[in-house]
Structure 1
Amino acid sequence: MQKISIPGDTGVQTGADSDLMMQSFSEASLDLQDTKTLRKAWKSKINKFMQSSALWRKSNRQETDEAKLEETLETLLSQQSGQTVFREFLKSEFCEENLDFWFACEEFRTFSSEEELMGSATRIYEEFIKADAPNQVNLDFNTIEDIRRSLHRPGPLCFAVAQSKIYSLMENDSFPRFIHSEHYKVLFHTSWKHSKALKQKSPGT
């Protein structure tokens, strides 16, 4: 049988052909390796970004929470800066006597001797409660009468009811306006800056 030969097909693989095939395989292998490396690098970058973003959100929440400590009247009054700014706001509304009375009652509750209690009770009544008091607070008739009758022998809770009523007045009336005022914005900004400075300050500096 006669063998049919195809022109150009020698049936023998030359060295050049072999080198060309090896080069192609090598390039394909490098391309695959580069692709894997690139994917790995991107995955690493994405993970780092997500971790960084999560840490930022956590830090930002902490700073925001710390900066908003003044959003309750109780916390506000526990801080010297809060007391000062809140009183300035009340003064702008012509009702700073409410806060002054509240603090006078707080001080009164710390006394224990009969002499201290009587002297302080009289001063508070004269300053904030009686009809012609220079800094009279807004109390109902029954509360005023109860205080007046107890002045001959006042106890540590002599002004407890009145103090609670004035606190509620500040909390429900003045304080909501305060947190929308320029006074609060100044306090909030100062508190936020102080909180941030403490975080940035390293030990020993």
Structure 2
Amino acid sequence: MHFSPDGLAAFRKFLKSEFSEENVEFWLACEDFKKTKSSTKIAAKAQKIYADFIEADAPKEINIDFHTRNHISQNISEPTLSCFDDAQRLIYSLMAKDCFPRFLRSKEYKELAEKQENRNERRWLPFL
């Protein structure tokens, strides 16, 4: 998935207006996490993602099923770079099927489209 800065900013603004910005924040956190090389940093970043998005009453708790949440909870003490993959796929699917189609009808999207037309750019959609 490729994000342009303008497309991502508009999509985040839209999600924030719908009180669901945690979805794209989680997705981006997972993308960053998967690039981590140090085992010490893997553990620290995994704990942060878990605390921010996964555990019950997390400040940015994402909407995932019990099975996925439970699987992550059981394995968070020894995280791997793929430990959030199932949850990330669920959130991606949610955004692609639910949030993104609404975004395409939103004021934020229309403003972005006008801005890009004025620049005569075409490669700006946050999801390709």
Q: Same fold (TM over 0.5)?
A: yes
Q: Which runs of 5+ in 2 are unaligned?
A: 122-128
Give the one of 62, 68, 75 matched to 1:137.
Answer: 62
Paired position in structure 2 for 1:194: 119
Deviation at 1:152, TM superposition (A): 1.5
Aligned residue pairs total 121
Q: Distance in 1 between matches of 2:97 and 2:42?
A: 30
Give the one of 94, 97, 101 matched to 1:172.
Answer: 97
When Rg is computed on C-alpha atoms for both structures, the one with the higher figure is 1
Paired position in structure 1 for 2:11: 86
TM-score, normalising length from structure 2?
Answer: 0.90
Q: What percentage of residue pairs aligned between the two structures are identical? A: 43
Q: Which runs of 5+ in 1 are unaligned?
A: 1-73, 197-205
Paired position in structure 1 for 2:78: 153
Give the one of 49, 52, 55 matched to 1:127.
Answer: 52
Q: 1:112–1:156: 8 Å Cα contact kept in structure 2?
A: no
1:98 partner letter: N
Q: Distance in 2 between matches of 1:102 and 1:150?
A: 19
Paired position in structure 1 for 2:37: 112
Task: Kindly indicate which of the two structures has a greater share of residues assigned to helix.
Answer: 1
Q: Distance in 2 between matches of 1:195 and 1:171?
A: 26
Give the one of 101, 120, 123 matched to 2:26.
Answer: 101
Q: Distance in 2 between matches of 1:116 and 1:149?
A: 19
Task: Give RMSD over aligned pairs.
Answer: 1.1
